[in-house]
Chain A
Amino acid sequence: MGVVIDTGLAAPAAANDDAAREKAAAAPRVERTASRALPRLLMAPAVATLLLWMLVPLVMTIYFSFIRYNLMQPEAIGFIGLGNYEFFVTDPSFATAIMNTLLLIGSVIAITVVGGVALALLIDEPFPGRGIVRVLLISPFFVMPTVNALLWKHMMMNPIYGVLADLWRFFGAEPVDFMTDWPLGSVIVMVAWQWLPFATLIFMTALQSMNREELEAARMDGAHYLQQLRYLVLPHLGRSIAVVIMIEMIFLMSVFAEIFTTTGGGPGDASTNVAFLIFKQALLNFDAGVASAGALFAVLLANIAAVFLIRLIGKNLD
């Protein structure tokens, strides 16, 4: 299902290529007229399947959202207008879920970008064992979300047997019951742990193309470390920060398994995000109508995020 957005992301990046290619296209190309259809033919499967993937569920969702549709009673169908929307929006869980979604996305992006830049700077220059460090650091990125979640929930965060509980006791503190007391915080930790390596590696790659002579010159001129960071390193990283935010946003909007396997959205709605709320309506309450109304709100939310993203990325790729 889709998000309607303006173009802009690719524009500045491709501007140079564009000019070159348009020049090339202006040169006579005899064989091109005959094979105009070929490019379209090559693109057709991808465009067609994605169009179906977007439109079919969207149309069905819009239809379901206006009818009474319980998966357990498929025969009791009837038009109920905006009833499902009303139910979903007036559900007190709705506001909480939106807040939690924003908190989750915001915190994870903040942690991974700041932590990722710091880590990338730390391992930018050679030191003994850098290769191994790189391999160890990237590992959490390849761990599937369900393993990640259970590993943290049980072996790290269990209030009695968990490693963290032992650490708390070591410092003479009362161990925390993470899943009950800090449910959303715990989910944020798990997701951030997964995405920090990704951000670090992207920033590391970007740092490698940094102009060392420029840095050296700045150092000669007496710029201290923070100044170098502020005026040389961070501007250089701008583009990769934009890329990290874009990719993480795409994946973080639909965080699900970490919540499903640990807190189940609870206690109450304390760790329910929009994705999980819709899931609860659909497969736990079997109310496909309300879930569909909720799904359309998710589409709206995705639209808002997309517009925001395009602004951000468009500016940064200039």
Chain B
Amino acid sequence: MALAARTGAAWAVTLLLFFPLGWLVLTAFKTELQAIAVPPLFVFTPTLANFAEVQQRSDYLLYAQNSLVTSVASTLLGLAIAAPAAYSMAFFRTRRTRDILMWMLSTKMMPAVGALVPIYVLAQTAGLLDTRLALIVIFTLSNLPIMVWMLYSQFKDIPPEILEAARMDGATLWQEFRQVLLPLAMGGLAATGLLCLVLSWNEAFWSLNLTSAKAGTLAALIASYSSPEGLFWAKLSAASLMAIAPIVVFGWFSQKQLVQGLTFGAVK
């Protein structure tokens, strides 16, 4: 295919796929009237009023804080639990390692809704409805299988001889971990952490069902804008933009690592 044709086709498809997101950005800077203009407006004088109003009306910062705290905490907690397990599986394989890995992944295949009633009842009994703690625990648990898998497939690529050599030289377990394994596994840990952060930030099922005004995340806040009667598209867009911008920009910078990690090491 000629270069010009290929370039044209690639850009056309890309712009088409990116259009909804671009439109969201444009709408966020319109007035409410401009937002529902027929035909749709492409050229207009941008306004920042929507952003201020979103913060005023629905306390954006509180929800953003909830999103940040729950996703960072669950990522760190998840790494702390998953990394030792993955290390153990990658470097001390037994006959059962494979079965355990498969079992872990299978817990992820169960739709979350299957556990909704029990988890709701448990959270209610424990007084954890609408708390960040409940979300942190649930995000950690539901991401754990994928984290173990990703880390396992990354650790597996590290030659065990390197660790053996360190051990021969009298390194303690902590030194072995800190000075040998960690530098080698940094890429894998980062990819896993990044993915977990994205998944938790965007998680909507549990935050919609277990939280409301106190511990609600941005994903839940946006859902509250879904009332059918109001045509507040400009404000909806501004709120949406503020909800996705941090993680989308974050994703742009980490996409290469993310994709490598997500293939479970099966695609090189």
Contact = CB atoms under 8 A, between A and B. Distances in A.
A291 B222 contact: no
B156 A17 contact: yes
Interface in B170-212: 173, 198, 201-202, 204-205, 208-209
B51 to A, nearest CB: 15
A42 B111 contact: no
B107 interface: yes
A262 B223 CA distance: 9
A288 B117 contact: yes
A261 interface: yes
Interface stretch (A75-83, A87-95, A141-149): A141-149
Contacts of A276: 113
Interface string A281-292: 011000010011
B122 interface: yes
Given A61-B114, A161-B38, A166-B39, A46 B109 contact: no
Contacts of B49: none
B219 interface: yes
Contact of B204 (A146, A156, A161, A317): A146
Nearest to B82: A46
Contacts of B161: 24
B144 A161 contact: no
B256 to A, nearest CB: 9
A54 B110 CA distance: 9
A197 to B, nearest CB: 7
A254 B248 contact: no
B231 interface: yes
A295 B116 contact: yes
Contacts of B112: 254, 256, 275
A2 B110 contact: yes
Interface string B135-154: 00000011011001000000
B113 A139 contact: no
Instruction: Say whether chain B's binding surface is mostly helix, strand, loop, or mixed.
Output: helix
Interface residues of A, number: 114
Instruction: Say whether chain A's binding surface is mostly helix, strand, loop, or mixed.
Output: helix
Contact of A137 (B18, B102, B142, B208): B18
A191 interface: no
Interface in A244-288: 247, 249-250, 253-254, 256-257, 260-262, 274-276, 278-279, 282-283, 288
Contacts of A202: 259, 262-263, 267
Interface string A31-63: 100000011101101110110011011001100
Interface in B119-165: 119-122, 141-142, 144-145, 148, 156, 160-161, 164
Given A54-B107, A127-B10, 12 more contacts: A24-B161, A38-B173, A39-B94, A46-B82, A53-B142, A57-B119, A60-B118, A61-B117, A128-B7, A143-B244, A144-B204, A146-B226
Interface of B: 3, 6-7, 9-11, 13-15, 17-21, 23-24, 27, 36-40, 81-82, 84-85, 87-89, 91-94, 98-122, 141-142, 144-145, 148, 156, 160-161, 164, 167, 173, 198, 201-202, 204-205, 208-209, 218-220, 222-223, 225-226, 231, 233, 236-237, 240, 243-244, 247-248, 250-252, 255, 259-260, 262-268
17 contacts: A1-B107, A5-B102, A8-B102, A45-B85, A46-B148, A136-B14, A139-B248, A146-B223, A147-B222, A151-B23, A155-B27, A161-B37, A161-B38, A243-B266, A250-B108, A254-B113, A278-B113
Interface of A: 1-11, 13-14, 17-18, 21, 24-25, 31, 38-40, 42-43, 45-47, 49-50, 53-54, 56-57, 60-61, 64, 119, 122-123, 125, 127-130, 133-147, 149-156, 160-161, 163, 166, 193, 196-198, 201-202, 205-206, 209, 239-240, 242-243, 247, 249-250, 253-254, 256-257, 260-262, 274-276, 278-279, 282-283, 288, 291-292, 295-296, 298-299, 302, 305-306, 309-310, 317
